[in-house]
């Protein structure tokens, strides 16, 4: 069973890595890989993830888009439902989201996009500036840097979702 889970998580890593290289938009690449790995694609959730790209609308000042994609995937399973919200209930759990968050911060030093860039590139880029976005790309952003971040988050998230599924059986 564990070997199978490892294979599933590895598949998510590879998909996210490839998608970031080919299609970009880290939040969507990460989320797509996770959704496809579990064969549960939510077109509305996927579309909603787009604005989280590049540390929130390419600003790099918000949460890394890859991490946001993973958080969305887990929250879609464990988050508070609209019905519970309307009823004033708080029937959600952040345990798994926290695990993802702290795993990410342990490896990348911060959840903030510009800080992740500093760790990967030695500097951060203003992705809202066309010249800096080109410099970012030329520095290998979509060759191996951002793809590896997306891959890591997709793998970690997949492992957590498998854990969620196991505990809910």
User: pTM of the predicted model, to two decimals?
Assistant: 0.94
Q: What is the pLDDT of residue 90?
A: 84
Check if the beta carbon of residue 128 is closer than 8 Å to that of residue 135.
no
Residue stretches of the chain with pLDDT short of 70 = 1-3, 169
pLDDT digits (tens, 9 = 90+) for 71-102: 999 999 999 999 999 999 987 778 999 999 99
Q: What is the pLDDT of residue 169?
A: 66
Q: What is the pLDDT of residue 92?
A: 72
């Amino acid at each position: 069973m564990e070997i199978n889970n490892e294979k599933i998580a590895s598949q998510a890593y590879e998909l996210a890595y490839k998608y970031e290289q080919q299609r970009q938009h880290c939040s969507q690449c990460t989320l797509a890989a996770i959704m496809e790995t579990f064969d549960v694609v939510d077109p509305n959730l996927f579309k909603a993830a787009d604005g989280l790209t590049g540390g929130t609308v390419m600003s790099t000042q918000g949460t890394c888009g890859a991490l946001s994609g993973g958080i969305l995937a887990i929250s879609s399973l464990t988050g508070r439902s609209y019905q519970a919200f309307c009823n004033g209930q708080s029937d959600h759990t952040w345990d798994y989201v926290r695990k993802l968050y702290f795993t990410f911060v342990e490896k990348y030093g911060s959840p903030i996009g510009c800080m992740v860039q500093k760790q990967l590139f030695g500097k951060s880029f203003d992705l809202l500036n066309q010249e800096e976005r080109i410099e970012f790309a030329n520095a290998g952003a979509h060759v191996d840097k951002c793809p590896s971040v997306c891959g890591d988050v997709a793998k970690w998230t997949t492992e957590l979702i498998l854990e969620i599924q196991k505990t809910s059986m």
